[in-house]
């Protein structure tokens, strides 16, 4: 394991220890994905972790080091299809989804299915086994927001038939499904709306990669850095340990039942500035090239995290420069 991941995981395990008594059984759907695998690593020292993943976008390599750990089991499960388990879980963290815009736009039906039927299947399991469940939602439920920074009370501005709707509307249904199970059956559901997160293990392959990993791989290979549109569109990038720490607090905290929390770093940056920062940190000779704007691309994205600050006693700790340095170091080691 890369020393940066090892060190970051050790710190997250301390957060888990502060919040979890130990010995619980936890299901993580999408556990072989980027965020899911960080959660597996963070929780496995204190709990029995079942990782369910259909490996559509998750990678076996993200959890292969946990093979043989008596607290860990991997199962190939597509949560959107019919699946049965007699096992009961104390906690369920439901992350299964295709998160990358290029990828989910190529698989819109599966993308909708996992957030809608998949979420219902997982909620049924939570109801049967009386487990608490955390749903990994997204800043995309806000669409192209009219209010920046965006609070949880904002209802969103989503194109229901647009290219992103399979993801945005799917996650909105997933949230509605959580609230329905909470209201009708009393299930302890919690929702986190995750804003752009980056860090070691984030996928970078081809057009499926997100802006941060694509720019890093382009910059360290001296290739043109591809900015879509004029690069004035903004995002707020949160380092993985900050996002995972918020998820742990949201699912284990005493005050999260039936609640929704924005999780992200409130520092808003333009995509052009992000490209320049990555070129600077990697000391790359890459040039920036401007390509066609991505269709339906939200123009600004920045979370209001007052609620997570006050209720979960959480705020991000890793700044963009530091987080990028760690991520770049990991990408360099991966390409060797
Ligand atoms: N982007 C870009 N070049 C790339 C990949 C992404 O300019 O090679 C832009 C994309 O159009 C969007 C932003 O970077 O405005 C963030 O894209 P990403 O796919 O990381 O996530 P999103 O926030 O759109 O889900």
Q: Is the pLDDT of residue 112 over 70?
A: yes
Nearest to 121 by CA among 61, 73, 202, 54: 54
Check residue 334 and give its pLDDT.
86
Taking residues 123-135, report their average pLDDT.
96
What percentage of the chain's residues is helix, strand, coil (to nearest 5)? 45, 20, 40
- Helix segments in the chain, DSSP class H: 3-19, 34-43, 101-106, 108-115, 117-129, 165-185, 211-220, 240-252, 271-281, 306-312, 320-334
Classify residue 246: in a domain, yes or no.
Answer: yes
Q: Within a domain: residue 95?
A: yes
Q: What is the mean pLDDT of the chain?
A: 95
Tell me if 272 is assigned to some domain.
no
Residue-wise pLDDT for 224-250, tens only, equals: 999 999 999 999 999 999 999 999 999
Q: Whose CA is nearest to atom 23 of ligand 1?
A: 196
Q: For 302-312, what is the mean pLDDT?
A: 98
Query: What residues make up the domain containing 112?
Result: 3-196+240-265+302-317
Q: What is the per-residue pLDDT across 62-95, written as a single tens digit (0 to 9) for each?
A: 999 999 999 999 999 999 998 877 889 999 999 9
Report the atom number in ligand 1 closest to the C-alpha of 231: 7
Distances in Å between the Cα of 240 and the Cα atoms of 43, 249, 325 are 15, 14, 13
User: What are the tokens at 327?
Assistant: 């991520």
CA angle 211, 263, 311 (to 5 degrees): 170
Q: Are 264 and 238 in contact (CB under 8 A)?
A: yes
Assign residue 150 the CATH number of its domain. 3.40.50.720
The confidence score (pLDDT) of residue 336 equals 60
Tokens of 84: 């049965």
pLDDT at 22: 82
Ligand 1: residues with CB < 6 A are 101, 196, 210-211, 214, 226-228, 233, 235, 271, 294, 297
Q: Which tokens belong to 237? A: 């990038």
**Would you say residue 273 lies in a domain?**
no
Rounded to whole angstroms, the Cα distance separating 166 from 109 reads 7
**Which atom of ligand 1 lies nearest, measured to the CA of 293?**
11
Residue 205 clears pLDDT 80, i.e. is over it = no
Q: Which band of pLDDT confidence, cut at 50, 70 and 90, is reported for residue 208?
A: low
Q: Which of 104, 142, 167, 198 is catalytic?
A: 167
Is 61 part of any domain? yes
> Is residue 173 in some structural domain?
yes
With respect to residue 213, please indicate whether it lies within any of the assigned structural domains. no
Query: Helices (DSSP H) in 161-317: which residue ranges?
Result: 165-185, 211-220, 240-252, 271-281, 306-312
Q: Which residues contact 184 (CB under 8 A, 6 or more apart)?
A: none
Q: What is the percent of the chain where pLDDT is above 70?
A: 99
C-alpha to C-alpha distance for 163 and 102, rounded to whole angstroms? 10
Domains in the chain, number: 1
CA of 305 to the centre of ligand 1 (A): 22
For 266, half-sphere exposure in the C-beta direction (CA atoms, 13 angstrom radius) is: 15
Are 271 and 231 in contact, with CB atoms under 8 Å apart?
A: yes
Name the token pair of 12: 């997250």
CA of 172 relative to ligand 1 center, distance in Å:
21
Task: Compute the average pLDDT of residues 29-55.
Answer: 97
Q: Average of pLDDT values for 128-156? A: 97
Higher-confidence position of 111 and 85: 111
* pLDDT number for residue 86: 82
CA of 210 to the centre of ligand 1 (A): 6
How far apart are the C-alpha atoms of 240 and 196, rounded to whole Å? 9
Confidence of residue 206 (pLDDT cuts 50, 70, 90): low
Model pLDDT, residue 315:
97
Q: State pLDDT tens for residues 149-176.
A: 999 999 999 999 999 999 999 999 999 9
CB 123 within 8 A of CB 189: yes
Is residue 46 a part of any domain in this protein?
yes
> Residue 282: which of 335, 215, 234 has the closest Cα?
215
Q: Is 239 one of the annotated active-site residues of the chain?
A: no
């Amino acid at each position: 394991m890369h020393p940066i991941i090892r060190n970051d995981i050790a710190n997250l395990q301390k957060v888990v220890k502060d919040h979890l008594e130990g010995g619980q059984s936890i299901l993580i759907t999408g556990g072989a994905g980027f965020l899911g695998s960080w959660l597996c690593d963070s929780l496995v020292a204190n709990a029995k972790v079942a990782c369910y993943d259909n490996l559509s976008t998750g990678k076996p390599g993200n959890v292969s080091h946990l093979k043989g750990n008596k607290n860990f089991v991997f199962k190939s499960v597509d949560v959107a299809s019919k699946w049965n388990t007699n096992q009961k879980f104390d906690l369920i963290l439901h992350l299964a989804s295709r998160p990358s815009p290029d990828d989910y736009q190529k698989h819109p039906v599966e993308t909708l299915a996992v957030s809608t039927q998949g979420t219902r299947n997982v909620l049924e399991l939570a109801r049967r086994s009386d487990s608490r469940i955390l749903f990994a939602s997204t800043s995309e439920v806000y669409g192209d927001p009219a209010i920046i920074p965006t609070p949880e009370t904002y209802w969103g501005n989503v194109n229901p038939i647009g290219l992103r709707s399979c993801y945005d509307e799917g996650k909105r249904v997933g949230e509605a499904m959580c609230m329905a199970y909470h209201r009708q059956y009393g299930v302890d559901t919690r929702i986190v709306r995750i804003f752009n997160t980056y860090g070691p293990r984030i996928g970078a392959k081809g057009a499926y990669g997100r802006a941060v990993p694509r720019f890093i791989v382009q910059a360290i290979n001296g290739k043109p850095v591809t900015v879509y549109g004029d690069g004035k569109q903004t995002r707020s990038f949160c380092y993985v340990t900050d996002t995972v720490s918020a998820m742990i607090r949201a699912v284990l905290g005493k005050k999260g039942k039936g609640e929704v929390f924005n999780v992200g770093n409130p520092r808003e940056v333009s995509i052009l500035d992000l490209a320049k920062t990555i070129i600077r940190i990697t000391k790359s000779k890459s040039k920036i090239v401007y390509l066609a704007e991505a269709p339906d691309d939200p123009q600004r994205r920045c979370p209001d995290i007052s609620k997570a600050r006050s209720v979960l006693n959480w705020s991000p700790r890793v700044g963009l420069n530091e987080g990028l340095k760690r991520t770049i170091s990991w990408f360099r080691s991966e390409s060797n």
